[in-house]
Amino acid sequence: MAESKVRKAAAPKPAAKKAAVKPKKPESQLAMVRRARRINRELAELYPYAHPELDFDNPFQLLVATVLSAQTTDLRVNQTTPALFAKYPTPEDMAAAVPEELEELIRPTGFFRNKAKSLLGLSTALRDEFGGEVPGRLEDLVTLPGVGRKTANVVLGNAFGVPGITVDTHFGRLARRFGWTAEEDPVKVEAAVAAIFPTSEWTMLSHRVVFHGRRVCHAQKPACGACPVAGLCPSYGVGVTDPEKAAGLLKYELAGKPGQRLRPPADFPGEAAARADAVAHDGRVADLATADGEGDAA
């Protein structure tokens, strides 16, 4: 009798039932739009000075610089274009360039033969079809050799004040990380983001997102722990979350270092990038500053 009581007392209790975990509801379109616009407002406070990081004085210079920026850094382009524009200041001058001489001037930007072909083609088209002037319409710009929607939107937004969304590698990456779209194709990314934001915001939104991609939300090691919009980002955690380690990943003016422009706007908080005053023995422009390592392909 005693033994049965002991056995009964020692019998294991049935396991308590675990509370069912409710699956997280997917974000509604309205909630996503509200979150996206809040991210834009936060980035506007962080980068009130956001601007194109290519040096230019007129629409032709911006067009050429943007074509050269494919698969290289804006700093490298900015180090290359002073000599280029000194020799070929107008579309007429560049259209008449000796291909080999043009190639040598733009060699530091990489893919110089293809880029020289594009520059000769677009300059000739500007001379022959547009009276030597850069057109202010997207449908005209994209007919120029080497000019796609990204390049056209850069020129329209920053030389003509026509709103446009510039989908480069940085913008596309952040648009997906922010959950604004899952699209990979730049044209589809542009359309998806355009549906979220007012037209008046498109150009500055592009600058802010690209600035953030270059300075904080990098391709390989995002500085999540130092990101001011981390609380609004569904991709938080894909990068370094430790605040101290993340702070060490910040770039350009956020890290107290120069940006990519040699001639930045007067209200830019960082120093100008290192000027290319030294020339390497082979005649190429010396790379005097550390760039972000990711090209801005069109």
Per-residue pLDDT tens over the stretch 142-176:
999 999 999 999 999 999 999 999 999 999 999 99
Domains of the chain in start order, with CATH, are: 35-216+251-255 (1.10.340.30)
Strand partners, 285: 279
The catalytically annotated residue of 168, 221, 277, 296 is 168
Q: Of all helices (H) and strands (E), which one includes residue 68? A: helix 59-68
Q: Is 227 annotated as a binding residue?
A: yes
Q: What is the pLDDT of residue 2?
A: 47
- What are the contacts of 182-190 at 24+ separation with CB within 8 A? 186/149, 186/150, 187/149, 190/149, 190/153, 190/165
CA atoms in the 13 A half-sphere facing the CB of 247? 3
Place of tokens 């936060």: 42
**102-139 burial: b if 16+ Cβ within 10 Å, else e:** bbebbbbbebbeebbebbbebbbbbbeebeeebbeebe
The catalytically annotated residue of 55, 74, 115, 150 is 150
In the predicted model, residues of the chain with pLDDT beneath 70 are 1-23, 275-298
Q: What is the pLDDT of residue 270?
A: 86
Q: Is 233 annotated as a binding residue?
A: yes
Q: Is 51 annotated as a binding residue?
A: no
Q: What is the pLDDT of residue 23?
A: 63
Q: What is the pLDDT of residue 213?
A: 98
Is 150 noted as a catalytic residue in this protein? Answer: yes
Q: What is the pLDDT of residue 78?
A: 97
Q: Each residue of 50-101: pLDDT tens digit?
A: 999 999 999 999 999 999 999 999 999 999 999 999 999 999 999 999 999 9
Q: What is the pLDDT of residue 8?
A: 45
Q: pTM of the full predicted structure?
A: 0.84
